C-alpha cells in the first residue's frame, strides 16, 4: 500500500507540473494576442517596430537593460539599425504611455501582469497526499 501511495503522489506531481506548463503556454499566447490586439489599428512601420519591441521584451519577462534590448533579436537590430539613437527611448516611452511596459532610467520590463485580470480565479495547489501507515 505505501508503494501505491508513493506512485500516486508521483503521478500527481507530474500532472501538476504539466498543468503548470500548459498554464504558462496559455498565458504566453494570451499575452501575445493581447499585444496584437492593442496594435490592431496601428499598422505603420513605427507601430510594427514598437509591437516587435514589446514582444521581444516579453520573451524576457524581466527587467532588461536598455543597452541590451537590441541584442534580444536580429529583427530588432535590423529595425533600429537606421534610426537615431533616441528612437529606441522614444518607442519605450510610447509603450509606457500605453501601459504595456514599466520603464526606469536604464531598464524596461513588460507589464504582463495586467493579463492576470483576465484569468479565472485559481485555487492554490493542495499539498500532496501523505502515505498512511495502515
The pLDDT of residue 45 is: 87
pTM of the model: 0.74
Please state the rounded mean pLDDT for residues 33-58: 91
The pLDDT of residue 114 is: 85
Report the C-alpha gap between 49 and 73 in whole angstroms: 12
What distance lies between CA 35 and its chain's CA centroid?
Answer: 11
Q: Which carries the bigger pLDDT value, residue 133 or residue 116?
A: 116
Please state the rounded mean pLDDT for residues 113-123: 72
Q: In the chain, what are the domains?
A: 2-118 (1.10.10.10)
How much is the mean pLDDT over the chain? 86
Please state the rounded mean pLDDT for residues 103-124: 81
- Residues with Cβ within 8 Å of residue 52, at least 6 apart in sequence: 73, 75, 76, 79
Tell me which H or E stretch contains 101: strand 101-103
Amino acid at each position: 500500500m505505501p508503494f501505491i501511495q508513493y506512485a500516486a503522489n508521483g503521478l500527481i506531481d507530474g500532472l501538476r507540473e504539466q498543468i503548470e506548463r500548459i498554464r504558462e503556454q496559455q498565458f504566453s499566447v494570451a499575452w501575445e494576442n493581447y499585444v496584437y490586439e492593442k496594435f490592431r489599428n496601428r499598422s505603420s512601420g513605427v507601430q510594427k517596430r514598437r509591437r516587435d519591441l514589446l514582444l521581444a521584451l516579453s520573451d524576457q519577462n524581466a527587467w532588461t537593460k536598455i543597452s541590451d534590448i537590441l541584442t534580444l533579436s536580429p529583427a530588432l537590430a535590423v529595425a533600429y539599425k537606421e534610426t537615431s539613437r533616441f528612437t529606441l527611448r522614444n518607442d519605450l516611452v510610447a509603450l509606457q504611455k500605453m501601459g504595456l511596459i514599466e520603464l526606469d532610467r536604464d531598464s524596461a520590463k513588460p507589464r504582463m501582469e495586467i493579463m492576470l485580470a483576465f484569468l479565472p480565479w485559481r485555487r492554490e495547489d493542495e499539498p500532496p497526499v501523505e502515505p498512511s501507515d495502515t
